Amino acid sequence: MRSIRRILDITWQDKVTNAKVLSRTGLPRMHTLLRQLRLSWLGHVHRKEDGRIPKDILNEELTSGRRTTGRPQLRFKDICKRDIGALEINVNSLKYLVADRTIWRSILNQHLNTGEENLMKAVAAKRARRKGRNNSNRPETFHRCEPLCKTTAPHWSL
């Protein structure tokens, strides 16, 4: 975001949100780019023939070894499952979708675009709720600036 703002000559004093900067450039959010890269690589690995090391590593479970105590670290497979769920891609037909590269790319781009739009709407709604809540709950009080001035000016109490 810093590089994009520097290219567009937007300083922090301009008070332009990240959503407006991204909509001005037409670029997706970083989360969307990472999802696209992960899921396109997942399709690439699934199209490989059986016996290849990346496919075996992705599909197999360890039979021996110990994990450290605490919450298990997320695996690549877990993150991809979360991404597929967030993009509302049908898991049952995933095997058939990734088999054809052009179909997988088109479906992936379609779901990424709708996911990006939903995310931007959610961010805008959250911002509107936050901005509306801050202004509506504050009582307005009036203060005199000086005894000689005799004017009252609204002052927002914190």
Q: Write down the pLDDT at residue 38.
A: 94
Q: Cα dihedral angle (82, 83, 88, 91), rounded to 10 degrees? A: -70
Does pTM top 0.85 for this prediction? Answer: no
Residue 97 to residue 82: CA distance in whole angstroms: 17
Q: Write down the pLDDT at residue 72.
A: 83
Residue with tokens 């675009």: 113
Angle between helices 76-86 and 30-47 (to 10 degrees): 110
Residue with tokens 């670290």: 73
Q: Write down the pLDDT at residue 80.
A: 92
Q: Write down the pLDDT at residue 35.
A: 94
Type of residue at 70: G
Residue 8 to residue 16: CA distance in whole angstroms: 11
Q: Write down the pLDDT at residue 67.
A: 76
Residues of the chain with pLDDT under 70: 61-62, 134-158
Residue with tokens 């004017």: 151
Q: Write down the pLDDT at residue 142.
A: 59
Residue 103 to residue 42: CA distance in whole angstroms: 14
* Cross-strand partners of 79: none
